[in-house]
Every structure is written in C-alpha cells, then in structure tokens.
C-alpha cells in the first residue's frame, strides 16, 4: 500500500489541479484561480483533501470552491472547502472545515461546531472536519441543528451518490487502510494519548495502558482473516453512536484477551466518548502494513516524549543499545534475555539486528527471510520487567514490531527461579546465550521486604543490597556455562569505589572480562539520570574454569585463614576475659570483698581437709576468683573436733559463703556499667573486624596475583567521549562508539584462552 496523503499532493500537481509556486511557499488552485500561502499547516491539509475530493470522491474541480463566504455568520466566516451541486456554485452540497494535524480533542470539537455553523448557514447537506488523519463526517440536512451523534456518517457520498455504511474495506481500491510516515504516526499516537489523558485526569502510564489495549485490538483486527471487500471492524460506521462503537471494540478486546491472555488481563476502562474519539484517530491507518522501522522509531519517540519524566529510567538511548548489540553480535539461534527490559529496547533492537542479517542470507519478502527473523522473535527473545504497566509497554512494542510479546513477563527478576518458572517455563538457570540489560540503579533491596536476599552470594548476611549488584549475580545464574555472554550498563562506582571491591572480585571470579567502555557523564542525563556509567562485556566461565578458579580461591583462603583465624580467636578470648572481670568499679568491688571470701574459704578448706572431703566445683571457682595465695601456710589452725561438730561448722560456713556470694552478686550487678561494656565490645569488634578485613584483603590480593600469573586475559578498554547525542538528546554527528566497535573486533580476533 502507498501513503495516500503523500500521493494526493503529488497527483494534484501532475494532473494540474494545483500548482506549488515560489519554491513551494504558495499554492495555486487552478480551477478557482485562487492562491494561498502553502507554508501554513492547515493549507497543506486542505490541498491534499481538495485533490482527494476530485480523485477519490469524483467531484468536479469546477464545482469545488475555497474560502466561501458564509452568510448570517457573526462575525463573518469563510468555509474552507465547499462542493456544490451545480457548475454555477449556487447550491452547496458538502461543507468542509480543515485544521492542521495534531490539534487537541477540544480544538477538534470546536472545528465541528464551526463546520456545522457554516453548513447550516449555507444550507448544505453534509459537513466534514479534516485534521490530517483525524476526520469526521456528518449528514446535516434533515437533522436537528444541534445533533452531533445520530447524524455521523462513515464517509461522504461518492459523486453525489448514497452514503456507504462502512468506510474502510480490505483490499478495496481507495478504501483500504493507509500506510503512514513516521511523523504522521507519532502525531496520531500523541493525539490518542492526549484524548485518553484528558489534561491529567489519568496518569501518563494509565493513559498509555488504555492506548496499548486499543492498539492491541487495532493490530489484531487488521490481521483478522477476511475476504477482499469486507469491512474492518475497527472503525465508525454510518449513523453509529459511541455506545455501539465502544461495545464492538470491547467485544474485540474480550476475544483477543481469550486468545492472548498474557498480554492484558484488565478490561478497557475508559468511557464511550473517549474510546469513540481514539477509534476515530486510528481507524484509517494500517499499523500492520506500516514499515517496521517506521513503527519502531515512531513508538520509541512517542514513548520518550510522554514518559521521559515519569518512566525515563526504562529507556536506554538507541545509540547505546545498538552499540552493545554490535559488540556481542547476536545469532538467530541464540536465546536472548533482558531481565530488566523496561519498554523492550534491547529486545527490539536485537530483533532489528537479526532481521537485517536475514536480508544478507535471503531475499526480503521470501518465506525463508520471514522465518529467519520471525521465529527468533517468537521463540528466542525474552524479557522480564518488574513494573506491570511498563511490561505491557514492552509487550505492545513487540506486537507493533510483529511479535515476540509472549516471552515478556511482568515480574521481579530477582525472585527465586521457582517463581519465575511458574510464570514462564523458559526462565530457568543456565539457559540463555546472551543477556543485554540496563538494570535499575540506586534502588535497594531490603531483606525485611525481600526474603530472597539471603539466597544471593552478594546479598547473604546483609540487611540490604543495591539492585544493580544483585542483577550481576542473577545474570550469571541465567547464562549458559562457557559461551553465555553479558552486556550490561553499570554505574562507575562498582568499578572504582573501594567499598565495592568485593563486587569486582565477584565479577573476576565468575566471568571473563571481555571489554569495558567508559561513557561520558551525560550519557543518561536526557533521561533524567546523571550517574556516570560504563558498559561491561563479560563471558561466563566454563564449569572447568569456574572450578579451577574456586579451587585456587579455596586454597588461598585456607592458607591465609591459618594465620588470621587464630588471631581472631585470641581477640575473642581476650574480650570474654575482660567482660567477665568487669568494669573498673566491679574490679574494685572484687578487691573489697576479697578478705571476707578468703576467710570463709580458708575455714571451709580446713574443715574439708579434716573431714577428708574434696572441695566442690563452686568452692574451687570462688577460690580461683578471690584467693590469690592457695597455699596452706595462712590457713587457721583447727583443734581436733568430733566429726559431728566439724560437719556443723562446715554447714555454718557454707551458709555464710552463700549469703556473702548473694550479697556480692547483687553489688557486682549494681556496679555494672553498660556504657563501658558497650565500649569494650565495640573496641574488640573493631579489632576483630580489622583482622577479618586484613584476611579478606589478603585473599583478594593473592587471588588477583594468581590470576595475573596464570590467566592469559587481556581486557579491551576504551573511553567514549562522543556517543552520537548530547546531554539534551540532540544528535551529535561524532560517535566514538563506531570506532570503538571496530577496534574491539580487531582485538577480539586474537581470542586467547582465559587460562591458556
């Protein structure tokens, strides 16, 4: 199909209906011999429709006039276009009001009132409002002057004939849906969004949710099997009220949900009038037949225009996406995943890359060409997005690009694999060949909210962890051993902050680092983020490489623990002894009680000796604590007693000892100093922590030294100062990324074995 709007302007010049003068700045309507400024957007709309009335609707140019004075209008008004019954132009038939494309719903409704006023004043039969692709037609004669619903018609009559029930029909010459240019499609999408948004009555994302549902129905209706000449369902027919249109669209949506339940689950939640208006915007265009690149760029620009402030974090600039894809060169048989897919940019550009490669092998339009990229879209592209609304954006984006949406799920990619598997059975460990992703930065996963934190090596034992750090580990889990590759956007802090050395160690212990490309500070500023970032390109170790690495890590750790662990044990024993002895006040109390305990214990020892009894563990413990001199020389001399007397004395001394101990314990507890105890614990914790840090640092350094000595592993590193756009998002003619990619190709050709 051709672009009808562009054709009519061209046809009008070729057939002499119109002439563009003064280098295209003015237009001459030949039959009426009238000239107007062609730079005005409204004039461009009028010129195209003027030719369309002649060519498509078969009205003679001699019966069409422009800027027709309207009687009885205050202030005076002129009708943009009027078709007359007669050559003398005395009997108006169709009165047309033309507006520039992209006007608001309010402005369009005002144009309708203007058209009705002109038509009634001129006594015309039909009225039309043309605002680019948005059009509405009315039968005026025979209806109440205020009627605006019952008298809607699908299309003006052809050559003064009868009004048709349906306007758009499959395969019918002149009545097929139109293919549109990128700029037109962006304007149409913006008009639809504005109609749904209604100046803030819905949030931008809620408005897009509703638009996505309607686009979904539109595409499904275009693909529905129907014979040539049969009308499309997604349109407004003659004399159809908004309620009837809404009911039909909702039925189509319900049927589509039943066949494709993973895309949408909620019902359409907008009123009949807004749904009617959106159908009016979309009914005449073909989303299915419009070029994929046109749809892709238009959709991307539309999303960027409306959501940059609200969900800008879900977009990665296409220059960076395309560069990352070129660096990893996806293959059509590989399984590709983005676990933080946002609006689906990485998935869609990967699909575009595979589609372009298909053209190298097969002629476009052949079944082989289609199968090559379409099977990849349906079976090998996967995405996870935590925000359900944005997941629907990604699915809609995939549908517009001709499928692949069924492998995009709305979920937290960091949850356990059983949960992911329940949603989609292809999301399993060690499955994917390639991961391209830009994980969310700065967000924190808290253990109190996400119990799965302890399941991660990089999260275990922490109360919280940054999402981008956990995503590194999750990507490792998803990738195949040995051949799995990861291209990821990361904040520079992971590469430079001393506190994140453990994350760098994790990367080195799990991946071969292929390349690091540093981006300018402003790489994401246009999307509301000023974090300095880099691109990392990694290959997951083979199981043999990983085992070799881990075996040497364990060997190094055991060697260093033999030195450091005893030091930790000594400090822990020392801490325990200090805390048991007590604070200075408690030590002084012990000294004060020493003579009393000493006297009683000496008497008990002497009695036990004469009775031939061994001292109890309690007596031994108290003697060790209070009596420094354990010899016999200071013990009091006892006269020989009868055993009964000795037992009685021993019982009395034990009673006195228990009372003294109880008194001492109460006094010892009262003398406790929690602040001193806290300081002691803190001081020893710091000392022990320093030893543990020394151990971790020694392990890390020894591991890095082992890698330097054993791994044949050059890393490609580059700094990109210009990346094809500036901080405002404007195009920059200089793009270092192209050169970097070429240099990496030459570097990667050497392809050394990691442990060669």
Average pLDDT, the chain: 88
- Region 459-465: what's the mean pLDDT? 91
What pLDDT shows up at residue 717?
93
Q: How many helices (H) and strands (E) does the chain have?
A: 22, 21
pTM score of the predicted model: 0.71
What pLDDT shows up at residue 247?
96
Architecture of domain 4-164: Alpha-Beta Complex (3.90)
Q: 634 pLDDT exceeds 80?
A: no
Choose between 334 and 647: higher pLDDT: 334
- Region 177-204: what's the mean pLDDT? 84
| Residue from 256, 264, 166, 261 nearest 217 by CA | 256
- Region 678-694: what's the mean pLDDT? 93
Kind of pairing, strands 34-37 and 26-29? antiparallel
338 burial type by CB count under 10 A (0-12 exposed, 13-18 middle, 19+ buried): buried
Q: Which of 29-33, 371-375, 378-382, 632-636 has the lowest mean pLDDT?
A: 632-636
Quick one: pLDDT band at residue 705, thresholds 50, 70, 90? Answer: confident
pLDDT digits 0-9 by tens, 307-350 = 554 444 557 888 999 999 999 999 999 999 999 998 888 998 99
What pLDDT shows up at residue 4?
41
Q: 395 pLDDT exceeds 90?
A: no
Q: Helices 345-361 & 367-379, crossing angle to 10 degrees?
A: 160
What pLDDT shows up at residue 314?
54
Which long-range CB contacts under 8 A does 636-644 form with residues at least 24 apart? Answer: 636/602, 636/603, 636/606, 638/606, 638/607, 638/610, 640/610, 641/610, 643/611
What pLDDT shows up at residue 75?
62
What pLDDT shows up at residue 7?
80
* Domain ranges across the chain: 4-164, 177-290, 549-582+677-710, 584-672
| Residue from 463, 477, 461, 462 nearest 415 by CA | 477
Choose between 642 and 324: higher pLDDT: 324
Query: Could you give the maximum distance between any two Cα atoms of the chain, in Å?
Result: 154
pLDDT digits 0-9 by tens, 403-430 = 667 789 999 999 999 999 998 999 999 9
Quick one: pLDDT band at residue 193, thresholds 50, 70, 90? Answer: confident
Compute, in degrees rounded to 10, the torsion defined by CA atoms 369, 372, 377, 381: -150
pLDDT digits 0-9 by tens, 52-98 = 999 999 999 999 999 999 987 666 689 999 999 999 999 999 999 99
Quick one: pLDDT band at residue 630, thresholds 50, 70, 90? Answer: very low
What pLDDT shows up at residue 20?
95
189 burial type by CB count under 10 A (0-12 exposed, 13-18 middle, 19+ buried): buried
Share of the chain above pLDDT 70, in %: 92
């Amino acid at each position: 199909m051709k672009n009808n709007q562009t054709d009519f302007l061209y046809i009008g010049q070729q057939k002499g209906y119109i002439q563009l003068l003064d280098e295209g700045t003015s237009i001459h309507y030949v039959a009426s011999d009238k000239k107007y400024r062609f730079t005005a957007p409204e004039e461009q709309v009028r010129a195209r429709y003027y030719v369309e009335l002649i060519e498509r609707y078969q009205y003679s140019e001699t019966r069409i006039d422009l800027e027709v004075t309207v009687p009885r209008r205050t202030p005076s008004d002129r009708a943009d276009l009027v078709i007359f019954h007669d050559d003398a132009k005395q009997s108006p038939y169709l009165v047309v009001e033309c507006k520039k494309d992209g006007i608001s719903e309010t402005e369009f409704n005002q144009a309708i009132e203007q058209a009705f006023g002109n038509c009634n004043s001129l006594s015309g039969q039909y009225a039309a409002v043309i605002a680019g692709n948005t059009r509405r037609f009315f039968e005026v004669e025979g209806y109440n002057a205020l009627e605006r619903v019952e008298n809607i018609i699908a299309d003006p009559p052809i050559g003064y004939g009868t009004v048709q029930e349906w306007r758009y029909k499959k395969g019918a010459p002149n009545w097929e849906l139109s293919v549109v240019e990128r700029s037109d499609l962006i304007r149409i999408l913006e008009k639809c969004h504005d109609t749904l948004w209604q100046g803030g009555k819905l949030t931008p994302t809620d408005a897009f949710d509703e638009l996505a549902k309607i686009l979904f129905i539109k595409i499904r209706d275009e693909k529905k099997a129907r014979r040539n000449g049969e009308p499309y369902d997604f349109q407004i027919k003659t004399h159809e009220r908004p309620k009837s249109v809404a009911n039909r669209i909702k039925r189509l949506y319900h049927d589509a949900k039943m066949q494709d339940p993973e895309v949408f689950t909620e019902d359409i939640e907008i009123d009949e009038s807004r749904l009617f208006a959106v159908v009016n915007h979309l009914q005449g265009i073909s989303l299915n037949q419009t070029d994929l690149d046109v749809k892709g760029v238009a959709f991307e620009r539309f999303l960027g225009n409306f959501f940059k402030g609200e969900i800008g974090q879900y977009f990665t600039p296409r220059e960076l996406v395309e560069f990352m894809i070129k660096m990893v060169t996806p293959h059509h048989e590989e399984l590709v995943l983005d676990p933080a897919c946002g609006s689906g940019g990485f998935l869609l550009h990967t699909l575009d890359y595979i589609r372009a490669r298909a053209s190298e092998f097969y002629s476009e339009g052949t079944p082989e060409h289609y199968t090559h990229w379409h099977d990849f879209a349906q079976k090998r592209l996967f995405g996870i997005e935590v925000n359900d609304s944005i997941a629907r954006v990604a699915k809609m984006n995939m549908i517009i690009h001709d499928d692949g949406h069924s492998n995009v799920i709305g979920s937290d990619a960091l949850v356990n694999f059983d949960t992911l598997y329940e949603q989609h059975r292809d999301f399993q460990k060690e499955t994917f060949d390639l991961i391209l992703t830009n994980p969310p930065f700065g967000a924190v996963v808290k253990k109190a909210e996400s119990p799965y934190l302890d399941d991660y090596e990089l999260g275990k034992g922490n109360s919280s962890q940054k999402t981008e750090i956990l995503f590194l580990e999750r990507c490792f889990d998803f990738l195949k051993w040995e051949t799995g590759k990861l291209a990821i956007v990361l904040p520079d802090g992971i590469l430079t902050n001393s506190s994140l050395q453990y994350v760098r160690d994790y990367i080195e212990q799990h991946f071969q680092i292929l390349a690091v490309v540093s981006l300018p500070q402003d790489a994401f500023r246009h999307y509301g983020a000023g974090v300095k970032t880099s691109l990392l390109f990694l290959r997951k170790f083979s199981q043999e490489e990983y085992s070799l690495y881990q075996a040497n890590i364990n060997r190094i750790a055991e060697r260093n623990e033999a030195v450091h662990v005893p030091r930790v044990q000594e400090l822990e024993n020392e801490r325990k002894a200090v805390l048991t002895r007590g604070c200075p006040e408690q030590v002084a109390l012990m000294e004060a009680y020493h003579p009393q305990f000493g006297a009683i214990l000496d008497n008990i020892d002497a009695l036990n000796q004469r009775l031939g009894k061994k001292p109890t563990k309690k007596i031994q413990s108290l003697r060790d604590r209070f009596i420094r001199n354990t010899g016999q020389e200071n013990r009091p001399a006892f006269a020989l007693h009868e055993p009964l007397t000795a037992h009685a004395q021993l019982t009395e001394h034990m009673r006195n000892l228990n009372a003294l101990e109880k008194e001492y314990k109460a006094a010892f507890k009262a003398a406790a100093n929690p602040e001193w105890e806290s300081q002691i614990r803190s001081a020893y914790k710091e000392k022990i922590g320093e030893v543990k840090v020394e151990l971790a640092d020694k392990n890390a350094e020894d591991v890095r030294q082992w890698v330097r000595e054993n791994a044949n592993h050059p890393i490609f590193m580059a700094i990109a100062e210009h990346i094809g756009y500036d901080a405002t998002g404007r195009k920059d003619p200089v793009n270092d990324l192209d050169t970097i990619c070429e240099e990496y190709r030459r570097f990667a050709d050497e392809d050394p074995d990691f442990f060669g």
